[in-house]
Amino acid sequence: MTTTWDPSLYLGFDDHRSRPFHDLLARIGAPSTGEGAPRRVVDLGCGPGHLTALLTARWPDAAVTALDSSAEMVAAARERDVDAEQADVVDWAPAPDTDVVVTNAVLQWVPEHPRLLPRWIAALPSRAWFALQVPGNFAAPSHALTRELLAEPRWRGSVALRDEHAVPEPADYADLLASTGADVDVWETTYLHRLTGADPVLQWISATALRPVQAALDAEAYAAFRAELAPRLRAAYPQRPDGSTWFPFRRIFAVARTR
């Protein structure tokens, strides 16, 4: 089963989705120019490329490499004049001059990434930076209710989604990265997003968590699945008197600097 991506749907909540990238970038201490400035910066899983320009602006003298496994996302990035390449992160290895790697909301899709992290960091030069952010909300109602519906007789066996153990906990990332000998900074943040519009949580997860469901079902079945899921999400995330909806979203961050 191949999961395709819709860049325009993904960007529907661009401000909320981009905020963790800014917070992650703020913890990378590589100078912008001059001595110690990075030679190469990698956007590992660049998506539609809307944030890659921030890396170019932060490190104007660096060569910026943008990679994504989705052909749709690479095409969208190229429309933004980002020189993106299609590549699977599982097959990626840092070039010898890679001094900064940023991977934002990507590795949750790569079950084997805890095994890959030590290999990547070991291949980086001295004083390089590796920064990651992954969602930590797989136990949240948005995901738990989706899994519960998929377990019901009509949908059982149609698709298997990641469970609440899809990514390690912050302490696990800290131990894993520290075992490489790098200096490590790990934290988590729960953002309380204010969403508007009809069924906004359903719209949010349609661009991400529901992509495997859409890929597994035909259009009619997928529409029926969404119709069943919508009232459950409305109950879990009730609309406020002003028409908005609070959507708590936990994210996990880790920054490692090689010695």
pLDDT tens digits in sequence order for the chain, 259 residues long: 445 545 544 444 567 889 999 999 999 999 999 999 999 999 999 999 999 999 999 999 999 999 999 999 999 999 999 999 999 999 999 999 999 999 999 999 999 999 999 999 999 999 999 999 999 999 999 999 999 999 999 999 999 898 989 999 999 999 999 999 999 999 999 999 999 999 999 999 999 999 999 999 999 999 999 999 999 999 999 999 999 999 999 999 999 999 9
Distance CA 161, CA 91 (A): 23
Closest CA to 183 of 27, 20, 19, 25: 27
> Do residues 20 and 251 touch, judged by C-beta distance below 8 A?
yes
DSSP 8-state assignment for residue 48: T
Assigned token pair, 127? 């004083």
**Whole-number pLDDT of residue 17:** 85
**Whole-number pLDDT of residue 194:** 96
**CATH number of the 13-192+247-257 domain:** 3.40.50.150
The helix/strand/coil state of 222 is helix
